Structures are given as structure tokens and as C-alpha cells.
Structure 1
């Protein structure tokens, strides 16, 4: 399960200030800062059968590695995003162009996806391209990853900018996540981002769930 808070950031200056924030620095885990180029493609059928069932199939290049992901059963409340998630490392470079859902066949959701798709073909419906600056923090009640994303969502019908803060809970209580993000949001006047990158892309395509 993925549990994270998302906030929109209005400008690069604010993002830079958050990156250097004294409070976050005080609870940062040492040697965890890194900058990664993220390039992701999201796949569905012509009739959006996966999206209609609240399922996202993503293949993402994260620096030197490629990961295939299924996300489902999403819930968003005031910037808090909770979803079930499965990640599978991929060695084949061609998987980014044409994924095979059989890679998820060992899971219950994978079997559901395979059944939903039947003989329907998958194709890329959107991409996200962004730079992620991230590091881990530990406030004593939870271990989290702070990510600052800067890039864009690209669809056949248009694009949208990505400039956002994500804080994902790795272990500990959800309250720890809420405490940290509330402090940062209030300090920098951040507004909750209620839609995922995928949902924002679907809205551009005219499929607003």
C-alpha cells in the first residue's frame, strides 16, 4: 500500500526553499539525498477499461532501472493519497514501449487485470517526464521520503506542468506523515494536490474520474 501526501508548488524558488528547509534538515537521514530523472508511460486500452476499473498500469524508468507498477483502489482526501500498489523490476527495455501484463500474474490484481484485458491491446495513453529530488526523514514516529518533482505530463491532447511536493510514509503512523506535511504546508502556503499525475493526465484526455 502507498500512503502519501501531495501538495502543489507554485514556483521553483519555493521548491528550493523546501529542499533546504531547516526543520526537514533536522530530521533528515544522512546520505539519502539524490536527484533522479523519471520517465513514465501509462497504458490502457482504447476504451479505457483499466481506468474505468480504477486501475493504473505504469512503466517507469527511474534513473538506470525500469519498474512496472499496478495501482488500484485509490482514495484521496485533502491531499492524502492512499492506494494499493505492486511494483515489479523489469530488465527488458522494450517493456517501456509495450508492457506484458503477464508480469503481474502471480498476484490477485494481476489476474484481474489479465481477465479485464482479454484480447484487447494496450497502448500508451500518456507520459510523465520529471526530475525528482528526494531524501528520507525520520521524525521519531515515522520514516518518510520527501520528493520534489519538476517536469510535465504529456498526452495526445495537451500537457500540464508538474511542480509538486510528495511525502510518502515508509513506516510508522499515518499521524507522523500528517504532522510533518502540515508543518511544511503551513510554512510555505502549500495547497493540497487532490489528483495524482495519472488522474491529471486523464482529465486532459477528457476522462475525468
Structure 2
């Protein structure tokens, strides 16, 4: 079954009107009013198993579609099953996994939410690339809750994928957008739930026989999705936890670049890493103030920190809305799918290495680096200890990235113990870093008078944290590696 290549673009306020008025698309080739009803069991068995089921009505015709995503799509040769039906109730037979694998009956399904849109489509050409453009304008409805929908999809119909991004850039110059990372089904389910303050990273499902290049793309896409989900939440709620998770997503993405450094030596990857660092630093300055506020729950200092945080949050919002941030998202996605690194002769062997083999080497390498940098934390300076902390984070992220490649019972047991020790180490190194960096953070927040009254760093507390950090690091190094027999 051929894989669809498409970009999902979420248009920003008033962007749709500007795009239609610009003449870039011309007259649509079709207009359709679509109504889709999504079904699931009361306890969301379909969603939990990685499936969605909808009945779409267009005029007098009705089509039932079952889609698989994530772990579910990896188990089947197909990821979509369609059949025409009559009526507004699902029809389940043995042609889909819902009956054969989940043993779900049509009677067990209830309507959960609906999507109503006006869909306009265009066929455009960008160089040798043929693109189908679909604009959906409408809403998602779940009970008495509504979510406006303004989504543009660019689907590759022929030619090179590079043309998709060239055309997307033309759109952004007229009508700014953000890359969409959620399906309509995901957004519908979110309407039925309480708004989460933040979203943690999701498991990354890798196949042992996929290439190293494909595993990198899967990781990078997952990290970008993690960032975008929390970026949207932060813009809605300005919550410290969504800011924190957005920053973690960028750190994980930068770690992926580092883990695959030998495979992505091209100039564009270096530039993108610098841009990701810029964005991460913007979020990091606000996050540093959040950390200080957690230590000062009330009083004049808390109020001053609150003012500083408000200003830092405004800077974050300004930057993520900037043309620089939008260009970074577009450039990153273009490079990930069409970049020079995918064609370099000198990295061909590494790109085509099986993912499991690459993972073994990468995990060993990250472990060795942590062991070397953290050999004697008491005998090195703060800067070197910070390097040990970064090495610990990279090892943690590498473990999370590659864990699906080592799924045996013994590997899973070892992974649990390894990650448990990893978490203890990171907690202690994090406390040590907060202690050392506090004066600098006060100054960066404009609280120079507070920084001056800190009387330096509490050396006794620092020594205790170094001692417990060393103990945690040594225990981690002693732990059996889940990726080795």
C-alpha cells in the first residue's frame, strides 16, 4: 500500500481569507460539505488500541473508514479500511481488525463527536511536483463543546516532495501557519476530556530492521510533535508545565541530532541545530524563573519573580509567533524529509545500517561518555559537572528513543531498573545545577539586588549534592545494560 506524503497546515487568524484573496490557488476544482461522525466504545477501546472509525456523509453518499495509527498501524499491511455503507450506524465485519483482533461489535459503538466542514480542493503544480490542496473550514462538535477548524492539507500526487515545501513557503508568505500534528480524531477526543496542562513525550515505535536514517526521521518527527502539542497548550493556558514539556521536546530533538551526528554532517543540519538552540534558550529563560518561583511561594520576592516571569512568557509568545520560528519549523521539516544528508555518499553505509545495530553502538557510546565525564564529580569544576549532567540527559533520551528495539522480557526488566537509576541521577544533578545557577538566574531576571544578597553558593549543600550525585552515577554505571545480552 503506497504511503501518502502530505503536509497538514493549521492556518493562523485571518490567514484563510488572505490566502483565498491572493490568487495563489485560483478557483477550486470542487466544493463539498462533509459531515463525519466518529464512533468508539464508552471506554474508548478503539482509541486505546490505536484505531479510529468514522462515517462520512457527502451529499447522498456515505463512507465508513477505519484507520490505524501508532502501534496499531505497525501490525498490519494496511492502515486504512474503507467501505460504502447505508445509514448512520457502523458496519463491522471480518475485513477490519476491529472485529478480528479487538472483538468489537457494532452494537458496542457510540457516536463520540462529529466534524462538519466545507472542503474546497485545488490541483496545483510546483515545478515537477503535482499537489492536491484541500482546505477544510468548519468545526468539531462534542456535546455542547465546539472547536473551530481551519486546516490546509497539501498532498503529494506526483514528482518530488521538495515541491511541497516550496509551495508551503509561498503560502506562509501570504497566510502564516503552524504545522499540524494532530488528526481530526485526536482533536475530537480532546474535546471530550478536560484540557491537559501539558503532554509528555509519547513512545517511539521503531522496527529492528528499519534503517538508521528511518529511525532518525521517526525520532525527530516524534520530538517535533511533542513540541507542537505543548506549544499550542502553552499559547492557550500559559502554564509552566506546558512550557517545560515544550522545552524538553526541543532538548530531545537536539539530542537526536547529537546521537546521529555522524549521519547528519551537512551544513543545513548544523544551522538547524543552532536555530533549535536559540528557541530552546528562549524557553529556558522563562523556565529558570519558574524553578525559582517554586522555591519562593510567597512574599515580595515571589511577586517580583512573578513580574519577571510574565515578561519572560511574553517574550516566549512573541518568539514562537515570529517569522523566524515559523521558518525554523518549515526548514526543519523540509530538511528532515528531503535534506542533503539523505544523499551523501560518505554516509550511505551508516544511513542503511539496521536501526537495532545502530542503537547498540549509540547507547554504548553515550554510556561511555557519561562514565568518562562523571568519573570524579568532586574533583572537577562546575562547568565539567554541567557536561556530565548533559551527558546523563543524552543517555536518558537515547534509552527512551531506542527502547522499542529491545522488547524481550529480560530487556524490559533491565530497562525499568536502568531508567529508575537514571531518574535518581538526573534528579540529583538537577538540584545541583539549580543550586549553582541560582545567582545567574536572579541576575538574568533583573534581580541583581537579590543575587548580591545570596552570599555565594551554599558550599555545604553543594558538597552533599555532589556526593549523592556521584553515588547515583556509580550505581547507574554498575547497572546491567538492557540493550546487551
Range into which the TM-score falls when normalised by the shorter chain: 0.7 to 0.9
User: Counterpart of 1:113?
Assistant: 98
Alignment of 1:133-144 (within 5 A): 133-144=120-131
Once the two structures are TM-superposed, the CA of residue 42 in structure 1 deviates from its matched residue by: 0.6
Residues 156-209 of structure 1, C-alpha deviations (whole Å, 9 max, x = no match): 262211112122223343333233223312432211222121111111112888
Name the CA distance, whole Å, in 2 between partners of 1:63 and 1:39.
Answer: 9
User: Counterpart of 1:128?
Assistant: 115
Alignment of 1:145-184 (within 5 A): 145-156=132-143, 158-184=145-171
Name the CA distance, whole Å, in 1 between partners of 2:81 and 2:21.
Answer: 32
Paired residue for 2:82, among 74, 87, 95?
A: 87
Provide the secondary structure at the position in 1 that maps to 2:12.
coil
User: Counterpart of 1:19?
Assistant: 20
Provide the secondary structure at the position in 2 that maps to 1:191.
strand
User: Counterpart of 1:70?
Assistant: 66
Once the two structures are TM-superposed, the CA of residue 40 in structure 1 deviates from its matched residue by: 0.4
Name the CA distance, whole Å, in 1 between partners of 2:64 and 2:35.
Answer: 12
Change in CA separation of 1:165 and 1:74 when aligned onto 2, cut-off 3 Å: farther
Contact between 1:2 and 1:85, CA under 8 Å: does it hold in 2?
Answer: no
Change in CA separation of 1:32 and 1:188 when aligned onto 2, cut-off 3 Å: closer
| Regions of 4+ moved over 4 Å | none
Alignment of 1:184-195 (within 5 A): 184-195=171-182
Residue 34 of structure 2 corresponds to residue 41 of structure 1? no
Name the CA distance, whole Å, in 2 between partners of 1:36 and 1:2.
Answer: 22
Provide the secondary structure at the position in 2 that maps to 1:113.
helix
Once the two structures are TM-superposed, the CA of residue 24 in structure 1 deviates from its matched residue by: 3.6
Name the CA distance, whole Å, in 2 between partners of 1:2 and 1:68.
Answer: 19
Once the two structures are TM-superposed, the CA of residue 129 in structure 1 deviates from its matched residue by: 0.7
Provide the secondary structure at the position in 1 that maps to 2:43.
coil
Larger radius of gyration between Structure 1 and Structure 2: 2
| Superposition CA RMSD, Å | 2.7
Once the two structures are TM-superposed, the CA of residue 122 in structure 1 deviates from its matched residue by: 0.9
TM-score by length of 2: 0.35
Contact between 1:157 and 1:204, CA under 8 Å: does it hold in 2?
Answer: no
User: Counterpart of 1:51?
Assistant: 47
Provide the secondary structure at the position in 2 that maps to 1:180.
helix
Name the CA distance, whole Å, in 2 between partners of 1:144 and 1:59.
Answer: 26
Worse-superposed segment, 182-191 or 48-57: 182-191
- State the structure with bigger RCO (CA 8 A, min sep 6), 1 or 2: 1
Once the two structures are TM-superposed, the CA of residue 20 in structure 1 deviates from its matched residue by: 4.4
Residues 41-90 of structure 1, C-alpha deviations (whole Å, 9 max, x = no match): 01111111111122111110123322111222259xxxxxxx93333233
TM-score by length of 1: 0.76
